[in-house]
Structure 1
């Protein structure tokens, strides 16, 4: 998880400011609207839970020290590719593709991605449903490639997004 979030902390100060998130989305090629919308969604979700204090941070900063992120920022209804300690779980990643890449295409179509998101839903967890949908659909938009079978999020690209090596 640390490697994944390092992209968003360009000055390596252990804090992701809202401006860091906005600029990160712009560097990834997202338009002004999506980049602007991402800031309150991401920081509104993670700033408090990553804070070193019980008092909410009015600057909505995300503190990325390992102790701050462990367990506190993991939402429900997720793919479980990270455990509560922030470690990548390769078996869970492989399960995604063995279960949802039904035709062994080597990747997931947008339909496959959304089927997986529906399959990961926990009961009474609308925040987790939305977070999972946003994460995987953003990942698809960012990394999907045109293939003979159609537009797909290839397995290697999905892993690079999840483990942070794509950034």
Structure 2
């Protein structure tokens, strides 16, 4: 094979494609991808155990499955999971750090403490926005004991909570 006709399967091209895929295709309509956005499909490829969390080993295994070598897969997985995971990490940490009464749920006081602990200095609009969003969610989705459960919060991220709340509201209106 001559230099002018190199294959495009070099590790650098593969890593660039993996990292840039969501930027180019992440805004496509979900319907175009069988109900999943391109970014969701991208992440699902790497989520080998389908638990919603892409671990270092899953990233590594996915990169190896794509044909990258062990060294580049290790470096890339370290970068992806180290540098990018903070932006995409699920909300598990919220419950680990702040759910003291019930391990998978937040009380109103725990929610307030979580909001306060996660404030960024000087980001007043962020404080107001986060407080408004979380308190609205708490008001709409807490259970009869005043607990906001982890699975309910997860429903915000996957969109299932909204349909559930509408159905619940309609049921309550029909009973009244």
Structure 1 or 2: more helix by fraction: 2
Task: Report if TM-score (shorter chain) is over 0.5.
Answer: no
TM-score by length of 1: 0.43
Structure 1 or 2: more strand by fraction: 1
Question: Which structure has the bigger radius of gyration?
Answer: 2
Which structure is higher in RCO with an 8 Å CA cutoff and minimum separation 6?
Answer: 1
